[in-house]
Chain A
Amino acid sequence: MSEHEIRLTVNGAAHDVQVPARRLLSDCLRHDLGLTGTHVGCEHGVCGACTVLLDGRPVRSCLLLAVAADGQHVTTVEGLAADDDLSPVQQAFQDCHGLQCGFCTPGFLTTITAGLRDNPQPSEDEAREMVAGNLCRCTGYQNIVAAVLRAAELTRSCNSGPPDAAESRTVDEGTLAS
């Protein structure tokens, strides 16, 4: 079994770690680097809880060997927000009650953060498609889909000055009622 010296840049900070070849990236993040925000659910790529951004693209960290990510940039849920502020996606989850037990939430947050970058104005169907690869076992996905739409709105208002109060209220009522 080979051991490897690797360098991962996680949330902007470089980490040099020695890992056995078989170490999954999810375990490296959690055990070697102590970043336990990345959650491990099914460990075979089905649940999406462990989703991180690898060079900006969402990937399952349980389906990636840490050694294979050597030299690359990883963004985990810990890296989504600056300081104590919530990112627009995190704020939207709070606003829309998009998390219950919270176990699946890190994977949703990373997936949606990247998804909104690719598609800043998703329709409800597109929002549902965006999160279709992530499982939440608490209940249905209504509030999570609402959070995607709310996050899109928050991101737009962040980018275009003060939020439009009337528009926010309309979306709030629509999404929270569902």
Chain B
Amino acid sequence: MKPPPFDYSRPSSVDEALSVLASLGADGKVLAGGQSLVPLLSMRLAAPHHLVDINRLASLAYVRGDADAVRVGAIARHADVEADADAARVQPLLRRALRLVAHPTIRNRGTTVGSLAHADPAAEMPAVLAVLGGTVRLASTAGIREVAAADFFAGPLECALRPGELAVEAAFPAAPARSGSAVEEVSRRHGDYAVCGVCVVVTLDDDRHISSVRAGYVSVAPTPLVLDLTEAVRGRAYDAPLDAVRGAVDVEPEADIHATADYRRHLAGVLTVRAVQAAARDAVEREVAA
């Protein structure tokens, strides 16, 4: 349970980090919080030649909430995002989901952008980015590109990052007026990876009837699956029974040691109904509070 040997560098500016990553190419691997990478190293499931530690890039430690989005820099810790009052106001789904990410001690070190780059389909934050239609900003010596969540997650533990690129920021779009969100998941123990989870965003019209429903799933597909469930419940009152969404939850999960595919499918349906009801109520509560 010790990492294999590797080289290590710790750049002190973003430019230096990008040039180090450019010179290393496919041999380089970014170390941010390390809460997923270090276990992979210790279990010898990964053996990068060279780690580029970005923890001293203080200019990437920010969490900013403005009218459009919550922008999270590459080394902002989960705990920083969770604690940020502007982030919670601009996009309440962030704090709700972060409270389900492992335990506080892990969140003190783990980074939100790192969790996205790790692209674990059993992790909450990729599903949050996906359901919100967020973006990740990737930088390299060649320039900067913004990648939409739908294009960012390529497969289990695979994302759109190319050799030499650094994910410098994630943008989580602000919650629009008359929208609400909720997260529901089932895990074997609190803080464990979810057996199945769902993040839901519901938008209401002026009469508090459902006008859109989007759901992003955890642990049911190789990438964070997003379903538009609007048609199943469009026009219903926010406090009416919304069980009809269950029929629209078309997922094809895999079986593993923790759950059969059927059980996961069952959970996806049940949790979606709960989350849609809760998100619809949340939309009204936000409106009343505002």
A60 near B42: Cβ-Cβ < 8 Å: no
A133 within 8 A of B: yes
Complex contact B109–A1 (CB within 8 A): no
**Residues of chain A within 8 A of B53, CB atoms compared:** 65, 67-68
Q: Which one of A8-16, A17-25, A155-163, A164-172 is at the B interface?
A: A17-25
In angstroms, Cα B190 to Cα A2, docked, is 38
**Are A111 and B105 closer than 8 Å at their CB atoms?**
yes
B25 an interface residue at 8 Å Cβ cutoff?
no
Question: CA of A69 to CA of B4 in the docked complex: distance in angstroms?
Answer: 19
Chain B window 82-115, contacts with chain A (Cβ cutoff 8 Å), 1 for yes, 0 for no? 0000000000000000000011111011000000
The answer to whether residues A45 and B51 also contact, given A2-B7, A21-B8, A67-B8 and a CB cut-off of 8 A, is no
Name the distance in Å between A88's Cβ and chain B's nearest Cβ.
20
Tell me the interface secondary structure of chain B in the complex.
Answer: loop
User: With contacts A22-B3, A132-B191 known, is A45 near B8, CB below 8 A?
Assistant: no
Chain B residues, CB < 8 A from A27: 2
**Binding stretch for chain A, among B32-40, B66-74, B227-235, B281-289:** B32-40
| Given A1-B7, A43-B42; A64-B34 close (CB under 8 Å) | yes
CB–CB A68/B105 < 8 A:
no
In chain A between 35 and 75, which residues have their CB closer than 8 angstroms to a CB of chain B? 43-45, 48, 51, 54, 57-60, 62-65, 67-68, 70
CA A111 to CA B79, docked complex, whole Å: 15
Partner of B5, one of A1, A43, A51: A1
| Chain A residue, CB-CB nearest to B8 | A21
Produce 1/0 per residue, B1-38, CB < 8 A to A: 11111111110000000000000000000010011001
Q: Assess whether B55 is interfacial by the CB under 8 Å rule.
A: yes
Smallest distance from the beta carbon of B131 to chain A beta carbons, Å?
Answer: 26
Contact status A133-B104, CB under 8 Å: yes
- A24: which B residues are within 8 A, CB to CB? 2-3, 38, 42
Q: Given contacts A43-B42, A57-B79, A60-B106, list 14 more A-B pairs with CB under 8 A.
A: A2-B9, A21-B51, A22-B3, A22-B6, A22-B41, A24-B3, A24-B38, A48-B105, A57-B108, A58-B108, A64-B34, A67-B10, A68-B10, A132-B190
Which residues of the partner chain B approach A111 to less than 8 Å between Cβ atoms?
Answer: 105
A137 CB-CB contact with B under 8 Å: no
A37 nearest CB across to chain B (Å):
17
Name the residue among A22, A43, A51, A64 with the largest chain B CB count within 10 angstroms: A22
> Could you tell me which B residues sit within 8 Å of A by CB distance?
1-10, 31, 34-35, 38-39, 41-43, 51, 53, 55, 79, 102-106, 108-109, 190-191
B191 near A1 with CB under 8 A, answer no
CA distance A1 to B31 in the complex (A): 16
A20, A45, A115, A132: the one within 8 Å of B38 (CB): A45
CB < 8 Å neighbour of B34 from A4, A57, A65: A65
**Least CB distance, A170 to chain B, in whole angstroms:** 29
Contact A59 B105 (CB under 8 A): yes
A117 CA / B176 CA spacing, docked (Å): 36
* Chain A residues with CB below 8 A from B51, complex form: 21, 65
The size of the chain A interface, using a CB distance under 8 A, is: 30
Cα of A48 to Cα of B39 in the assembled complex, Å: 13
A62: B residues at CB distance < 8 A: 38, 42
Inter-chain contact B105/A58, CB cutoff 8 Å? yes
How many angstroms between the C-alpha atoms of A1 and B35 in the bound complex?
22
Q: Is the CB of A63 within 8 A of B35?
A: yes
Partner of B109, one of A20, A64, A130: A64
Q: Please give the distance in Å from B255's CB to the nearest CB on chain A.
A: 23
A28 to B: closest C-beta gap in Å: 12
Which residue in chain A gives the minimum CB-CB distance to B7?
Answer: A2
Do A68 and B34 have beta carbons less than 8 Å apart? yes
Chain A nearest CB: distance from B45 CB in Å? 10
Taking the closest CB of chain B, its distance from the CB of A40, in whole angstroms, is 9
Pairwise interchain contact B108-A44, C-beta atoms closer than 8 A? no
A43 to B43, CA, bound (A): 9
Contact of A20 among B5, B41, B106 (CB under 8 A): B5
